Structure 1
Amino acid sequence: MYPSLFPYIFRAPFSGDVTQEITPRFLSPDIKGSPEIEARILREVASYGKQLGKVLEALQALSEKTKVPLPEIDALVAGVERVKAEMKVTLRDEAEAALTRLKAVDEAAWEEVVGRKG
């Protein structure tokens, strides 16, 4: 019996890799601003996640300083930290699996990779 080629020939909507460019003009032409400036900021300064992270840090510092609780912000930050921690484990597992595969097919390349210093 031959493996099915169906999954390689037909791709249902949302079944593959999905990438999306987020630009200010995507949803409405009435949005003020410049997509070129946004794109350059994302490339040269910081991602939206990094920018939002700084805002969340500032809100938490302000909350602590003023003793005004912000439970929704705290929950958001905790959720982000949880996902980051989970992804670190996932990435490490994937890296270990890749190194195991590399060692099995090309031990010299594996030794070169694992022998590198940080």
Structure 2
Amino acid sequence: MFPWLWFWSPTLHLPFSGSVAQQIEPDTQWFFAGIPAQAGNGQIEKKAFEVASYGSQLGWITEVLLAQASPGSVEADRAAGALRKLEKAHAEIEVVKKQSRAELAEAASAALARLQQADPAAYERLLASAAAGPRRLPR
């Protein structure tokens, strides 16, 4: 049974009186999603960043370059270590790029197969357009 004038009852919320579950993991997707299409692929950039951060890569490049440009400015062992790290990161990033290209080709193949099933005429037009050569889009 509701008391009289229940809609005037005050509702009091003390700290931690409600649900305190929250997601505290930061969302960093905005950084890689903000990469313009002409500057690169955001997904590949994210995977490359997981291999070695931009700061690490630039640091290694700087050490190797300084050792080459002015001998003695950077210790030879440090420069050699930086070069090894840079070569390792380069090899890993090339693997990432190769996997990305393979995934893209698989996705395109699957999309073409779906288009062929759904709309054979559009599939044929697309193949004819692709055979004619790449189109230049106006800028």
* TM-score, normalization by structure 2: 0.42
Larger Rg: 2
